[in-house]
């Protein structure tokens, strides 16, 4: 009986939309963390820190307020017979992991094989940025970018590679500053055609 009650409570909590805290509540939370760290949030050097942190969070996590599909909805069909891959290299990735809220920074490489239409290249970079400005794992972000391109553009294949350094490994825990994480996701012809996949990896410097 008790287990059923616990399950019901969890299901109820998951079904209710989360109320976004006010700015004042967010700043109070920062003051709590400052005090927990052992400092005094009332001292002069920290008086404006809660406001600055909340402003930074608004910038770092603005991806929650944006829809990547919107940026992929405007396509161009006049490509003069072009039928090869479209690829963007070295897109800056600045994100935060969901486990420690620590930054991970690196580069993304994105390609797709258009079928009937192409999208503005800046829109692909924007999709990467939107997903980067959310809390998640690098693996999840790689999959999300690939899925949004695949679902919006219906290409014959999509390829995504992200290479990033995680501060949760470099500044805490195992303290390995020279380790980067590489994640990939391939669909369609990039998954079935080894030569095409290898060409993408070569162009990505891998």
Catalytic residue set: 97-100, 138, 166, 168
Measured CA to CA, the distance from residue 72 to residue 114 in angstroms comes to 13
Contact 107, 183 (CB under 8 A): no
Q: The tokens of 190 are what? A: 């990039």
C-alpha torsion 184→59→74→110, nearest 10: -20
Q: Cβ–Cβ contacts within 10 Å for residue 132, how many? A: 26
Query: DSSP H helical segments within 23-154, as ranges?
Result: 23-37, 49-60, 68-71, 121-132, 138-153
């Amino acid at each position: 009986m008790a287990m059923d009650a616990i399950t019901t409570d969890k299901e109820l909590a998951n079904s209710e939309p989360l109320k976004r805290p006010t700015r004042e509540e967010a700043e109070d939370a920062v003051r709590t963390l400052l005090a927990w760290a052992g400092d005094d949030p009332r001292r002069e050097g920290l008086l404006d820190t809660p406001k600055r942190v909340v402003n930074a969070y608004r910038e770092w996590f603005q991806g929650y307020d944006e829809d990547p599909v919107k940026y992929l909805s405007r396509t161009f069909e006049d490509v003069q017979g072009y039928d090869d891959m479209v690829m963007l290299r070295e897109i800056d990735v600045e994100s935060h992991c969901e486990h420690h809220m620590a930054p991970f920074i690196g580069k993304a490489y994105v390609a797709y094989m258009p079928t009937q239409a192409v999208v503005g290249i800046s829109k692909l970079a924007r999709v990467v940025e939107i997903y980067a400005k959310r809390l998640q794992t690098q693996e999840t972000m790689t999959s999300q970018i690939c899925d949004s391109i695949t679902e919006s553009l219906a290409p014959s294949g999509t390829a995504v590679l992200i290479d990033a350094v995680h501060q949760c490994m470099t500044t805490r825990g195992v303290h390995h500053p020279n380790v980067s994480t590489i994640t990939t996701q391939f669909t369609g012809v990039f998954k079935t055609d080894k030569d095409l996949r290898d060409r993408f990896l070569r162009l990505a410097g891998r």
